[in-house]
Chain A
């Protein structure tokens, strides 16, 4: 993978960092001159992944969340969100629309659906007891199109 630019950061799983992560992503991707819609889509997808790490991954505990933001050739944005939390036993099931393990907390099971539809590519790797890594990519529309 040819990487044109990259930022890595790590933060504790505090809910206040949901907006901090979005702000960092905005700051990083403005260099690729995204449309308002593209920026909003990417911010929303990142917010979902970070919130999942906090709400589910580190449920009842706390830990660190590692983010990698990359600018790839052809105006492609790459984002990786990793937690060292509880992990997901059945990733395929977890990714089904409306599947949630926390309905009593007003979760609706739509986070992965949002990531999937707002980004071009989504991959989720997880191991129970070890954590979860969400990788997403989105190609920004060519300038002038």
Chain B
């Protein structure tokens, strides 16, 4: 998975590309967490349009970043997941916790 973060006026967009599983989540988590801790964005939007596969490891990745953003006084959002990824998000009830657009 590739992570590409762009930030402007407190709003950051992290474009994720590829597949999210237990193997690939580790480095994505490290990159996102170091960005959150160093830059303290108000909003971090995970652009998931480029994610072609995600299992429950992706739920852990999203929930973990949601918690960290909240601890830092910010908010996490999820943007443009493909239909197959939406099904996993729905099953986990993520939309009740994190805004999905």
Size category, B interface: 20 to 34
Cβ B92 vs Cβ A51 within 8 A:
no
Chain A residues near B83 (CB, 8 Å)?
37
Q: What per-residue 1/0 map shows which CB atoms of B3-28 lie under 8 Å from chain A?
A: 00000000000000001011111000
Residue of chain B at shortest CB distance from A109: B56
With A and B bound together, what is the CA distance between A118 and B87 in angstroms?
9
Known contacts A51-B22, A105-B60, A108-B59, then 17 further A-B pairs from the complex at CB < 8 Å, ordered by chain A residue: A15-B22, A18-B23, A19-B21, A22-B53, A36-B84, A40-B87, A41-B87, A44-B53, A44-B55, A106-B29, A106-B57, A106-B63, A106-B64, A108-B92, A110-B56, A110-B59, A114-B88
* Chain A interface residues (CB < 8 Å from chain B): 15-16, 18-19, 22, 36-37, 40-41, 43-44, 47-48, 51, 54-55, 105-108, 110-111, 113-114, 117-118
17 of the cross-chain contacts (CB-CB < 8 Å) are: A15-B21, A18-B22, A19-B21, A19-B23, A37-B83, A43-B53, A47-B53, A48-B56, A106-B25, A106-B61, A108-B56, A108-B59, A110-B56, A110-B91, A114-B88, A117-B91, A118-B87
